[in-house]
A and B are shown apart, each in its own frame.
Chain A
Amino acid sequence: MSRRLVGSVAATLVMVLAAGCGGSSGADGKVELSLGLFSDFGYDKLIEEYQASHPNIKIEQRKVKMEQHNTQLATQLAGGRGAADIVALEEGVVSQFRASKDKFVNLADYGAKDLKDQWAGWKWNQGTADNGEFVLGLGTDMGSLGLCYRRDLFEAAGLPTDRDAVAKLWPTWADYAKVADQFTAKTPNVKFVDTGRNVYKAILDQTEEGYFAKDDSYIADKNAAVKTAFDTAAALGTKQQTGALEPFSQDWNVALKQGSFATTTCPAWAMALIKAGAGDGAAGKWDVTTAPGGGGNWGGSFLAIPKQGKHPKEAYELAKWLTSPEQQKRIFKETGNLPSQPKVYQDAEVQATVNEYFNKAPVGKVFATSAESLKPTYRGTKDSKVTPIFNSALQRVEQGKQPAADAWTQALKEAQDAVK
């Protein structure tokens, strides 16, 4: 162990020392702010503009992969130095970091509570603690759910291709499974959906309580919604109607390119990934429609301010500006990241937005409608500990390694240990 530990400790030390040099007032007297992000938030142009209108502020963006971002942030919070002035917290981990909220600035101290009405109520609540007294982060985008499908593959299987007609095929997930059967009967060599795990997550995200009840107690073993979601997804896996792909991986990209699956769950931000993976050759073949079971939320982030930063006031002003309705609207038009503010997604211009690549689908309308009927899931403090366990269980079913019932039993047992 020693050598690796030496290496990592040395590397951490170097990083900490290097980071310690930045983040303060620069030589030219400017206030330097850093932004710790993990994927495309669409801030490049906005930051240039902000710097132009605030000549005393200099902004630096740090972009790394999400996993690395979370790990780094945890070590930086533990070490008390090195974190960016503003950090992005993804919805899946925000509850985990909320448990260490004393490491963050309470944005209410800077008047964040006055902004409350900008956001959808559930989005605001996810970013707060202590019954709204502690404001941990300001909401950026959200991942309102749609369902993407290949028009050409649907046609080949004798299914309708018009997006309204397709939506009528699957009011519920049980109907979706029936469509899968029809599809597989006609075209057995094409998978109906990329991965059962995303179906599972989509169903689960449509319930108000998932693995944890609203009082943060663990209920996965008692909550029928979890079992139903698992069984629905596992049935697709057992019938080999899923591609058993790792979502958003290299294999997933290849499968997109090869057109080897016909549907996939589509949070707003996933459309950019599908376009990148499928390439220009598939332009107009993909389309997006309403997801079975109504709306749901998947992903979306918050901007929070670690206490260790030297300029919380300036950082707050920047975070407030970046998450304001005007900027969210611009970001949606440029990147497709869905605004988490009702006023913005109800905006006529946003509603009228179409996506050329997805057969000119009215994405503004599809996602706004989904957002309206959305019931946000409560995320427990230990949600991120439990989630991978159930995902792995589904993966085992898809791989044909375990019958669904055994996978479920094993997952429950492992989850029980994890929440102890």
Chain B
Amino acid sequence: MTAVSTKTEAAQAASVPSSPEPKRFWLSGWDARYTPYLIIAPFFLVFGIFGLYPLVYTAWVSLHDWQLIDGNQGFVGLANYVELFGDAKFWNALFNTLSLFVLSTVPQLLAALGLAALLDRGLRGSAFWRAGVLLPNVISVAAVALVFAQFFGRDFGIVNFLLGFVGIDPIDWRAETWASHLAVSTMVMWRWTGYNSLLYLAAMQSVPKDMYESATLDGASRWRMFWAITVPSIRPTILFTVVTSTIGGLQLFAEPALFDPGFAANNSSGGSDRQFQTLVMYMYEKGFRLFDAGYSATIAWMLFVVVLLVAVVNFTLTRRIAGKG
């Protein structure tokens, strides 16, 4: 919309006959007022096409009985939503999603914070360590999942082998809800901890060093300095990572899907009793396996609402916690 209005303005500007000097003055005013909009316009244009339009279209689809291949089968109003609220599989997937999110995100961000603090202390060969923590994030998720699926194998997995040394019986990692959540969370943590710690590190390096010096003079411990100076100083970054990991964590799909060996071959979806089926996996099952696009779109919209709610809650909580000295 911005692009259209600026075009008209430009056309008007070109058509107005006037002496060179006032025109230049006029143009520079125009420049200062509208150029910023012009520059960010492409983003909104692209967002409109690829963000807003699918969002609205998904909402439209969710109000219909819509089959993936055969298309619209008629308007049903809120029937899909009514069905969804009574659907035990939906609540199960929501529980799994939230559980996996908490299990993976909370330890992940705390570990990232600690890792960043260590990296910030000027280790030898710091570039090596910094590149190193990012490595898990560079490896493709399929490769990570393949390796972790083997680690957590029931019969010949290395985790069960190691647990055997401390007298723990082999665990069927895909059969138990808590075990599968733990395994999938480990995978997520492995991938994202390093990435977040680099973000924290970048923020920590801009904290003024004299604050630490005066704190040292006052006899503050490292622990106290970390919580009283470092954490409040990097609060904006913490908020940013909390919001992005909320969005990412609640949309978890690839890790749990690839953790289920039957996902690609036998149409299973997150364990024999949906032990680790997330909302996105359920959406996939409904939309692309059962071809129920209308219901799938309904799940998509509910997920959108859940992400929004949790993001707001997390944002508020974190701002409070990180704000305390």
Measured in the bound complex, the distance between the Cα atoms of B141 and A65 in whole Å is 17
Contact B50 A1 (CB under 8 A): no
- In the complex, which residues 229-269 of chain B have their Cβ closer than 8 Å to any Cβ of chain A? 247, 251, 253, 261-269
Contact A258 B156 (CB under 8 A): yes
Query: Is A254 a contact partner of B288 (Cβ separation < 8 A)?
Result: no
| Alpha-carbon separation in the docked complex, A254 to B157 (Å) | 10
Asked whether A251 lies within 8 Å of B55 as measured between CB atoms, the reply is: no
Q: At the interface, yes or no: A373 with Cβ under 8 Å from chain B?
A: no
Which residues from A are CB-within-8-Å of B263?
A: 67
> Known: A5-B55, A250-B149, A401-B272. Is A78-B69 also a contact (CB below 8 A)?
yes
Partner of A3, one of B58, B153, B247, B289: B247
Chain A 251-283: CB-based contact to B (< 8 A → 1; otherwise 0): 110110010100000000000000000000000
B218 lies within 8 A of chain A by Cβ: no
Q: Quick check: is A100 within 8 A (CB to CB) of the other chain?
A: yes
Residues of A within 8 A of B247 (CB): 3
Bound CA span A2–B150, Å: 32
Which of A68-76, A288-296, A354-362 lies at the interface? A68-76
Give min CB distance, B46 to chain A, whole Å: 9
A249 contacts chain B at the CB level, 8 A cutoff: yes
A260 partner, pick from B68, B155, B262, beta carbons under 8 A:
B155
Within 8 A of B (CB), among A382-400: 384-385, 387-388, 391-393, 395-396, 399-400
Task: Enumerate chain B residues within 8 angstroms of A6, measured Cβ to Cβ.
Answer: 50-51, 54
A310 within 8 A of partner (CB): no
Q: Is the CB of A392 within 8 A of B265?
A: no
- The answer to the question of B130 belonging to the interface, with a C-beta cut-off of 8 Å to chain A, is no
Contact B272 A250 (CB under 8 A): no
Q: How would you classify the secondary structure of chain A's contact residues: helix, strand, loop or mixed?
A: helix
Q: Does A161 contact B (CB under 8 A)?
A: no
User: Given B156, B262, B272, which contacts A254 in the complex, CB threshold below 8 Å?
Assistant: B156
- Asked whether any CB of chain B lies closer than 8 Å to the CB of A110, the reply is no
Tell me which of A2, A66, A197, A250 contacts B261 (CB under 8 A). Answer: A250
Q: How far is the CA of A243 from the CA of B155 in the complex (A)?
A: 9
Bound-complex Cα distance A69 to B105 (A): 33
Q: Collect the chain B residues with CB atoms within 8 Å of residue A3's CB.
A: 247, 251
Given that A255-B155, A388-B268 are contacting pairs, would A1 and B262 also be in contact in the complex, using a CB cutoff of 8 Å? no
Report the minimal beta-carbon distance from B142 to chain A, rounded to whole angstroms: 12
Interface-facing stretch out of B162-170, B297-305, B317-325 = B297-305
Across the interface, name the chain A residue whose C-beta is closest to B146.
A250
State the interface size on chain B (CB cutoff 8 A): 43
Residue contact B155 to A251, C-beta cutoff 8 Å: yes
Instruction: List chain B residues, Cβ under 8 A from A384.
Output: 267, 289
Q: Given that A6-B50, A258-B156, A401-B272 are known contacts, is A74 also in contact with B69, CB under 8 Å in the complex? A: yes
Q: Give B49-91 interface residues, CB cut-off 8 Å to A.
A: 50-51, 54-55, 58, 68-71
Most chain-A CB neighbours within 10 Å: which of B51, B71, B154, B262?
Answer: B262
User: Contact at B288–A74, with CB atoms within 8 Å?
Assistant: yes
**Is there a chain B Cβ closer than 8 Å to A58's Cβ?**
no
The reply to whether the CB of B131 lies closer than 8 angstroms to some CB of chain A is: no
| Complexed CA–CA distance, A354 and B307 (Å) | 59
Within 8 A of B (CB), among A268-324: none
Asked if residues A246 and B265 are in contact (CB atoms below 8 Å), the reply is: yes
- Chain A residue at minimal CB-CB distance from B285: A388
Are the C-beta atoms of A246 and B156 separated by less than 8 Å? no
A interface footprint on B118-147 (CB within 8 Å = 1, 0 otherwise): 000000000000000000000000000010
Please report which residues of chain A, range 332-388, place their CB below 8 angstroms from some CB of chain B when the two chains form the complex.
384-385, 387-388
**Of A2, A78, A197, A258, which is within 8 A of B71 by CB?**
A78
Whether B155 lies near A254 (C-beta < 8 A) is yes
B272 touches A9 (CB 8 A): no
A187 close to B (CB within 8 Å) = no
Measured CB to CB, the residues of A under 8 A from B are 1-6, 9-10, 65-68, 71, 74-75, 77-78, 96-97, 99-100, 103, 197, 243-244, 246-252, 254-255, 258, 260, 384-385, 387-388, 391-393, 395-396, 399-402, 418
Q: A1-B303, A75-B68, A75-B288 provided; 6 other pairs, C-beta below 8 A?
A: A4-B253, A5-B54, A67-B264, A197-B266, A251-B156, A254-B155
B residues touching A (Cβ–Cβ < 8 Å)? 50-51, 54-55, 58, 68-71, 146, 149-150, 153-156, 172, 175, 247, 251, 253, 261-269, 272-273, 280, 288-291, 293, 300-301, 303-304, 307
Identify the 3 closest CB pairs spanning chains A and B, nearest first. Answer: A249-B261, A395-B272, A1-B304
Would you list 27 pairs from A and B whose C-beta atoms are within 8 A, ordered by A residue?
Answer: A1-B303, A1-B307, A2-B51, A2-B55, A4-B280, A5-B58, A5-B300, A9-B50, A9-B54, A65-B265, A67-B267, A68-B264, A74-B288, A74-B291, A78-B71, A100-B69, A243-B155, A246-B268, A248-B265, A251-B153, A384-B267, A385-B290, A388-B268, A391-B267, A392-B273, A401-B273, A402-B273
